[in-house]
Amino acid sequence: MGVLSAVLRRSRTGTTVAALTVGALVLSGCAGSSLDQSGGEQADGPVKIGLLVPLSGVYAPLGEDMRNGFQLYLDQHGGKLGGRTVELVSADEGESPQTGVPAAQKLVTQDQVTAVVGVVNSATALGLRDFFHESKKPLLIANAGADDITGARKSEYVWRTSFSNGEVAAALGAAVAEEAGGPVYLIAADYAAGKEMIAGFRKTFEAAGGKVAGEEYTPFGTTQDFQPFLSAIRGTDAKAVYSFYAGAEAVSFVKQYKQFGLAGDLPLYGTGFLTEGGVLDAQGEAASGVKTSLHYSTELDTPRNKEYVDAYRKAYDEAPTVYTVQAYDAAAVLDKALASAPGGGGEELVKALGAVGQVDSPRGPWSFDADHNAEQKYYLREVRSGGGGMVNAVVSELS
Ligand code: PHB
């Protein structure tokens, strides 16, 4: 393949591994895949797609889910998108823009990918926006919810198959205001996503008559001991807690919330990342009763979702997650867009992304809105035991 690339393959046990293939990086001249003589891409040649997800740091498990989701779509479609064989080039987003931005730049300038898919962290997404806008390369964000990415700083080159922080959080506000029976304490990881997950929730919560008992942000990526923060909550008149944590931080927070004895007294709410996938497996019983808002659950009772859950379990021997679905859907929209933009140039491809229409997703049908964000339903979920472990049971649709 002649360039530095990480090729995804699945082992016999179903685990995805990244095999780093170091080719003749400089010798090859680092040409993009299948350039024709005019510098455009051959419509039937292979297409290089960059996959930028965390392979290290607190969000590494989310990155693995996204890789698996993208790979599952490829496996189900003969390794092709838009009729072209995909050469997947992986790069490590790491934990912050300091690692994620140079990794994305390498994918575009050195590996010359046609589009980049991935990005977990909101701060990294914000740090990447201008680069993609100016390079005229499509970026399909398959997680990071930074509000401005499909708001004040939207770009014709940046699309999102996941959610915005404000929306997924706002979906829960009225329900908590109704259920909590008193003031609610707000706590989140101290970075862009945590701030927006609190702001979005607060808006609809307060509009529905909810009162805030206190608000706290914990150092992102370094907090292991949440006890000082949990005792501070005890010292307020809070009747419930709303939070944003994901990945390794969500595991520690929910387990310590239980160990510290808060779980019995103050119901815990959050956006669904708090109890999603491997995080929930690690939390086990400690997460019982936690209620969250999200646009997906493995428990969604539809034929499309059942088919997806079965296929995913068969491939990876574990349940899918919202992260696997967001990346699977990124592959689905690229499949459609590349089919109608055979030259694969940035301008042509983003035009085609604007015309993909409804996506038949395991989460339910969704489509891009005018700002390139996913327009979709959100669900109220509650952690209950089921099927030999804990699951996010779907309680109701949120409006
Ligand atoms: C984000 O930084 O936008 C983010 C990260 C992890 C999540 C959700 C949002 O699970």
* Residue 373: Cβ-neighbour burial (10 angstroms; 0-12, 13-18, 19+): buried
**What is the mean predicted confidence (pLDDT) over 169-198?**
98
| Closest C-alpha to ligand 1, atom 7 | 246
Residues 338-382: tens digit of each pLDDT: 999 977 789 999 999 999 999 999 999 999 999 999 999 999 999
Is the Cβ atom of 145 under 6 angstroms away from ligand 1?
Answer: yes
Is the Cβ atom of 122 under 6 angstroms away from ligand 1?
Answer: yes
pTM reported for the whole predicted model: 0.91
| Exposure string over 376-399, b if 16+ CB within 10 A, otherwise e | bebbbbbbeeeeeebbbbbbeebe
Is the Cβ atom of 144 under 6 angstroms away from ligand 1?
Answer: yes
Cα separations (Å) of 196 from 69, 101, 188, 265?
26, 21, 10, 27
Is the Cβ atom of 121 under 6 angstroms away from ligand 1?
Answer: yes
pLDDT on residue 42: 65
Is the Cβ atom of 246 under 6 angstroms away from ligand 1?
Answer: yes
pLDDT on residue 386: 86
pLDDT on residue 41: 60
pLDDT grade for 225, boundaries at 50, 70 and 90: very high
Residues 239-281: tens digit of each pLDDT: 999 999 999 999 999 999 999 999 999 999 999 999 999 999 9
pLDDT at 27 over 80: no
* Token pair in block for residue 196: 């927006």
Q: Among residues of the chain, what percentage have pLDDT more than 90?
A: 87
pLDDT grade for 296, boundaries at 50, 70 and 90: very high
Distance 342 CA to ligand 1 centre (A): 33
Instruction: Lowest mean pLDDT of 6-20, 266-280, 313-327, name the range.
Output: 6-20
Beta bridge partners of 155: none
Ligand 1 atom nearest 120 alpha carbon: 5
pLDDT at 51 over 80: yes
pLDDT on residue 3: 26
pLDDT on residue 20: 30
Determine the residue type at 80: K
What number of other Cβ atoms are within 10 A of residue 348's Cβ? 18
DSSP code of residue 182: S
Closest CA to 241 of 252, 253, 249, 251: 253
Is the Cβ atom of 193 under 6 angstroms away from ligand 1?
Answer: yes
In the predicted model, what is the mean pLDDT of the chain? 90
Phi/psi at 5 (5° precision): -150, 150
Is the Cβ atom of 126 under 6 angstroms away from ligand 1?
Answer: no
pLDDT at 387 over 90: no
